[in-house]
């Protein structure tokens, strides 16, 4: 009787059929929802990316009827010595950044997770601060504090007779970028270290190894996957960095790929979108393998972390009095350099009209820089818009990321692999280029044109730029819901939609609040995405700073940067209040 149920050509039941017959999926799987959500997301991501790739194969703007298909843009860029110089500088920059950020971030993670260092709880938050400051703000801040005429440099000169550093050199820029990216490394490595059982370290200590030997011989090899992951991430960020080279590298002719793109806007007088697109494609080709490599690593490291087990209780290693002093001063010095110096610089600059050699800052104290915020409509609008975008837009983005996260939640189909790759794609592109592509999308896609002069256009671009970070936050939260909690709702009679609404979402709600605060900060600090996209009525602080840099209105830039820092600080406080898991 059973023979009937076996598809023709297959062996009888229970005879070890080599390949399984096709799945019969039931309809209660929200497959339609998953498919639609992933398809919509794919369109939102592929539209700008596709446009850029298409543009790169034209010899003029894609919207010009005179443009023809060809490889001339590639020909120009690939034979331009400036491009190769920029590529080389970018590579040196990215690897230099990794060389600074990874060891320091690893050390910091070790000290804060595996030892009994004092002030641990405070430090855990403080060390993340540089990550939340927009790099363009950092760069402005550094010029005022440690630039050739910066107040710290002047003090140095009065003590030593010379200034022992040059902020505007490639090593100077690499150092600053490296220091400001330490938190990115710390985050991943500390997460891995927290999961390590401490008995191995204890065993090593009992046989007489010093704390440094333990960290080198025991801890380091075990967190190597996390370190490699963080290195790959920083390499990626290094290739896409824009703010620091724009402000600190440009005057001395230090050009990286992103500033090379920016320069192509002016080089020919008229826009050379095709050349910009080519460089963007080159960036994609460089970063995409990195992104995929990261994805593999992440999978492996998850497996690895699962092996480590959760219950592993870590007994901190004892640093001892001297160890404490050394560790705290390393962290203190790093915080001084990467937080106090730039924020101090920006704060000073925001409240004076002139600074530098032979100028007494007290004589030039002023609030005039802030007066402008009120009197110039575009600036006050910029502040309001930035608030709207980060607070409301951040909430809306979290909601969308949640919908996307649910579409991928316990999804076993192929669409999930598609989703994974779609999410990673925008990460391979600098925000500047994503913003430009969305400007075109909103200009040329008929039913979208009414949205272009609204904040919605910016919101969509921000949403896509923040996609991979935001979705990972949400997925991390969703995965914490035990599968039986959902299954029990299903067997009790709830559809998958009801299950999400009645069980999954209520359980992850605290996590959503934290994610909202973090996305808010990400949107707050963004400066590149809006450069091409914003218009009258849709100004945002970050991109205003970039465009103001064209006219060089430093007073205004400083005031905006200061406001941006205040807003970020408020966001961070809120995030901590809401119990955001910054450490995940």
User: Interaction with other proteins in 501-540: which residues (CB under 8 A)?
Assistant: 502-503, 506-507, 532, 535-537
Q: How far apart are CA 478 and CA 497, in angstroms?
A: 15
CB nearer to other proteins: give 208 or 251.
251
**Piece of the chain touching other proteins by CB under 8 A; list 4-12, 115-123, 396-404, 458-466:** 4-12
Query: What binding mask, one character per residue, do residues 302-321 give for other proteins by CB under 8 A, x or -?
Result: --------------------
- Minimum CB separation of residue 464 from other proteins in Å reads 20
- Minimum CB separation of residue 266 from other proteins in Å reads 5
Burial of 397 (0-12, 13-18, 19+ CB in 10 A): buried
**Piece of the chain touching other proteins by CB under 8 A; list 201-209, 215-223, 400-408, 478-486:** 478-486
Q: How far apart are CA 201 and CA 115, in angstroms?
A: 11
- Minimum CB separation of residue 61 from other proteins in Å reads 7
CB atoms near residue 159 (< 10 Å): 8
Residues 549-568 that bind other proteins (CB under 8 A): 549-554
Answer for the pair 143, 250: CB distance below 8 angstroms, yes or no: no
Query: What binding mask, one character per residue, do residues 45-64 give for other proteins by CB under 8 A, x or -?
Result: ----------------x-xx
**Piece of the chain touching other proteins by CB under 8 A; list 42-50, 143-151, 286-294, 324-332:** 143-151
By CB under 8 A, the count of residues binding other proteins is 90
Query: What binding mask, one character per residue, do residues 146-185 give for other proteins by CB under 8 A, x or -?
Result: -xxxx-----------------------------------
Query: What binding mask, one character per residue, do residues 449-468 give for other proteins by CB under 8 A, x or -?
Result: x--xx---------------
Query: What binding mask, one character per residue, do residues 362-381 give for other proteins by CB under 8 A, x or -?
Result: -x--------x--xxxx---
- Minimum CB separation of residue 410 from other proteins in Å reads 11
Residues 409-448 that bind other proteins (CB under 8 A): 439-440, 443-444
**Exactly one of 43, 306, 384, 485 binds other proteins (CB under 8 A); which one?**
485
Q: How far apart are CA 111 and CA 64, in angstroms?
A: 58
CB nearer to other proteins: give 235 or 276.
276
Residues 88-107 that bind other proteins (CB under 8 A): none
- Minimum CB separation of residue 490 from other proteins in Å reads 4
Residues 235-294 that bind other proteins (CB under 8 A): 250-253, 262-263, 265-271
Q: Which DSSP state fits 253?
A: T
Q: Which DSSP state fits 7?
A: P
CB atoms near residue 123 (< 10 Å): 19
- Minimum CB separation of residue 21 from other proteins in Å reads 5
Tokens, residue 57: 């194969």
Answer for the pair 97, 181: CB distance below 8 angstroms, yes or no: yes
| Sign, Cα dihedral of 213, 217, 222, 226 | positive
- Phi, psi for residue 58 in degrees, rounded to 5: -110, 165
**Exactly one of 22, 164, 208, 311 binds other proteins (CB under 8 A); which one?**
22
- Phi, psi for residue 317 in degrees, rounded to 5: -75, 145
Q: How far apart are CA 577 and CA 155, in angstroms?
A: 39
CB nearer to other proteins: give 119 or 482.
482
Residues 328-357 that bind other proteins (CB under 8 A): 353-357
Compute the chain's Rg from CA coordinates: 26
CB nearer to other proteins: give 329 or 495.
495
Tokens, residue 511: 């996590």
**DSSP states along 377-417:** HHHHHHHHHHHHIIIIIHHHHHHHHHHHHHHHTT--SHHHH
CB nearer to other proteins: give 308 or 535.
535
**Exactly one of 8, 9, 19, 79 binds other proteins (CB under 8 A); which one?**
19
Bridge partners, 58 (sequence order): 69
Burial of 556 (0-12, 13-18, 19+ CB in 10 A): buried
Spatial neighbors of 129 by CB under 8 A, at least 6 apart, are 183, 335, 339, 572
């Amino acid at each position: 009787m059973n023979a009937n149920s076996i598809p023709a050509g297959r062996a009888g039941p229970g005879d070890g059929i080599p390949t399984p017959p096709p799945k019969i999926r039931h309809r209660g799987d929200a497959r339609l929802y998953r498919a639609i959500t992933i398809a919509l997301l794919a369109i939102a991501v592929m539209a700008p990316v596709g446009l850029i790739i298409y543009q790169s194969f034209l010899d003029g703007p894609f919207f010009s009827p005179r443009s023809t298909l060809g490889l001339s843009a590639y020909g120009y860029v690939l034979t331009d010595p400036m491009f190769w110089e920029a590529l080389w500088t970018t590579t040196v920059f990215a690897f230099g950044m990794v060389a600074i950020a990874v060891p320091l971030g690893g050390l910091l993670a070790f000290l804060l997770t595996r030892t009994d260092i004092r002030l641990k709880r405070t430090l855990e938050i403080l060390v993340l601060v540089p990550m939340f400051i927009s790099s363009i703000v950092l760069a402005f801040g550094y010029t005022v504090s440690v630039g050739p005429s910066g107040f710290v440099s002047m003090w140095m000169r009065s003590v030593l007779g010379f200034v022992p550093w040059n902020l505007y050199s490639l090593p100077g820029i690499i150092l600053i970028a490296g220091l400001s990216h330490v938190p990115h490394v710390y985050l991943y490595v500390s997460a891995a270290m927290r999961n390590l059982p401490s008995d191995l370290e204890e065993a090593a200590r009992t046989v007489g190894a010093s704390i440094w030997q333990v960290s080198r011989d025991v801890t380091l090899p075990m967190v190597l996957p996390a370190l490699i992951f963080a290195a790959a991430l920083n390499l990626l960020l290094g290739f896409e960095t824009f703010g620091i080279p724009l402000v600190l590298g440009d005057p001395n002719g230090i050009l990286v790929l992103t500033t090379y793109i920016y320069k192509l806007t002016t080089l020919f007088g008229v826009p050379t979108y095709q050349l910009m697109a080519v460089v963007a494609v080159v960036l994609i080709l460089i970063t995409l393998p990195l992104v995929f490599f990261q994805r593999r690593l992440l999978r492996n490291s998850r497996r690895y972390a699962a092996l480590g087990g959760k219950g592993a209780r870590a007994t901190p290693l004892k640093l001892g009095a001297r160890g404490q002093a050394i560790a705290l001063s390393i962290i203190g010095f790093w915080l001084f350099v990467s937080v106090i110096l730039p924020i101090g610089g920006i704060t000073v600059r925001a409240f004076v009209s002139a600074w530098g050699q032979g100028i007494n800052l007290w004589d030039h104290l002023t609030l005039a820089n802030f007066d402008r915020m009120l009197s110039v409509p575009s600036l006050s609008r910029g502040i309001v818009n930035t608030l709207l975008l980060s607070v409301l837009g951040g909430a809306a983005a979290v909601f969308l990321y949640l919908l996307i996260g649910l579409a991928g939640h316990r999804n076993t189909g192929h669409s999930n692999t598609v989703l994974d790759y779609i999410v990673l794609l925008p990460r391979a592109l600098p925000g500047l280029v994503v913003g430009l592509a969305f400007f075109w999308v909103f200009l040329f896609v008929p039913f979208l044109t009414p949205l272009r002069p609204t904040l919605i256009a910016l919101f969509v671009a921000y949403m896509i730029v923040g996609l991979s970070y935001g979705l990972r936050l949400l997925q991390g939260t969703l995965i914490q819901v035990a599968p039986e909690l959902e299954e029990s709702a299903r067997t009790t009679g709830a559809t998958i939609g009801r299950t999400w609404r009645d069980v999954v979402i209520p359980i992850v709600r605290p996590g959503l609040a934290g994610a909202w605060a973090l996305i808010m900060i990400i949107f707050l600090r963004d400066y590149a995405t809006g450069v091409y996209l914003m218009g009258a009525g849709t100004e945002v602080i970050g991109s205003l700073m970039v465009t103001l840099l064209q006219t060089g209105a430093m007073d205004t830039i400083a005031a905006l940067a200061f406001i941006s820092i205040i807003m970020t600080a408020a966001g961070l406080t809120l995030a901590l209040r809401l119990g955001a898991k910054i450490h995940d």
